[in-house]
Amino acid sequence: MVAPNPGPYTGPGTNTWIVEAGPVVAVIDPGPDDEVHLAAINQRIGAATVGVVLVTHSHPDHLPLAARLAAAHHASVRRYPELGDEDVVRVGTLNVTALHTPGHSADHLCFWLAEDRALFTGDLILGRGSSMVTYPEGDVAAYLRSLDRVAELRPRLLFPGHWDPVEDAMAKIEEYRAHRLEREAQVLAEVRRGGGTAQELTRRVYGALDEQLLVAAEMTMRAHLRKLVDDAAVRSTGDGERETYDAPV
Ligand SMILES: [Zn+2]
């Protein structure tokens, strides 16, 4: 089910997944605290019992409705860090494995149904476009490791936090990996062309963007710069607003 919160960062809205597991269901990512969405979820669940409410991460388009939905069904909310890497949640006939997959956010989990080779990807991988990995919360190095981690499972199907399910799972994971590395190469090339602050580099790479998009672009740039500095591919000097980046000689 799609929550009624469409927007530039949520696509058509947040996906709330209802997974049937015999007489009970698991609900993944209830979404924003919205009366209409809550009523729609309850209608869809009908007489079934909610065994558990799982949340991929604590962003406001995924988590807020979880507590109310769970309370109404006497179910528990399970999410990171209480639910850790490789913890298995048994619900009805299903075993759901939590995978800690940081990068988009530090508290991000994917949920793996090994028998179906199906992966609920939250905001690690979306059905369309690219995932936000932005400073200070996003971590590009962790994000790339998380993509490698889920690729190793060789999933067949992806059920993302936004947009449609993905049937060619491995191609989509590779697309996301390639996109992120392409971004990194673009940032590195710009720094090598000449140093500057994160804001200057952003304006050079993206040109004229409206103010809101430019802020998001700068936060993406900063996340990439942090990884490149950690990798010693880029050098940073100064701090705060005047922190500048250049290529080591
Ligand atoms: Zn998110």
Quote the pLDDT of residue 163: 97
Position 186 confidence tier, pLDDT thresholds 50, 70, 90 = very high
Tokens of 229: 């500095």
- Mean pLDDT taken over the chain: 96
Residue 26's pLDDT is what? 98
- Residues in the chain, total: 249
The burial of 39, by beta-carbon neighbours within 10 Å (0-12 exposed, 13-18 middle, 19 or more buried), is given as exposed
What Cα–Cα distance (Å) separates residue 183 from each residue in 17, 71, 147, 195? 31, 42, 15, 17
CA dihedral of residues 30, 31, 34, 40 (deg, nearest 10): -50
In the prediction, which pLDDT does 240 show? 80
Identify the pLDDT of residue 160: 98
What is the distance in A from the centroid of ligand 1 to the CA of 227? Answer: 20
Share of the chain above pLDDT 90, in %: 92
9 — pLDDT class (breaks 50, 70, 90):
confident
Model confidence pLDDT, tens digit, residues 206-224: 887 888 888 999 999 999 9
The pLDDT score that the predictor gives to residue 242 is 86
Distance (Å) from CA 104 to ligand 1 centroid? 7
pLDDT at 131: 94
Residues with CB under 5 A from ligand 1 (ion): 59, 123
Ligand 1: centre distance to CA 28 (Å): 14
* CA 5 to centroid of ligand 1, rounded, Å: 13
Q: Tell me how far the alpha carbon of residue 31 lies from the centroid of ligand 1, in angstroms.
A: 11
What pLDDT score was predicted for residue 173? 98
Cα–ligand 1 centroid distance for 9 (angstroms): 9
Query: pTM for this one?
Result: 0.95
57 C-alpha vs ligand 1 centroid, how far in Å?
7
Higher pLDDT, 190 or 8: 190
The answer to whether residue 150 scores a pLDDT higher than 90 is yes
Q: What separation in Å is there between the alpha carbon of 187 and the centre of ligand 1?
A: 23
Sorted by where each starts, the structural domains of the chain and their CATH numbers stand as 17-169 (3.60.15.10), 182-246 (1.10.10.10)
Q: How many degrees, rounded to 5, is the angle at CA 129 between CA 157 and CA 122?
A: 50
Q: How far is the CA of 194 from the centre of ligand 1 (A)?
A: 33
pLDDT tens track for 13-71:
999 999 999 889 999 999 999 999 999 999 999 999 999 999 999 999 999 999 999 99
pLDDT digits (tens, 9 = 90+) for 116-144: 999 999 999 999 999 999 999 999 999 99
Place of tokens 């000097």: 237
**Distance from residue 107's CA to the centre of ligand 1 (Å):** 10
Q: Give residue 208's pLDDT.
A: 78
Distance from residue 220's CA to the centre of ligand 1 (Å): 14
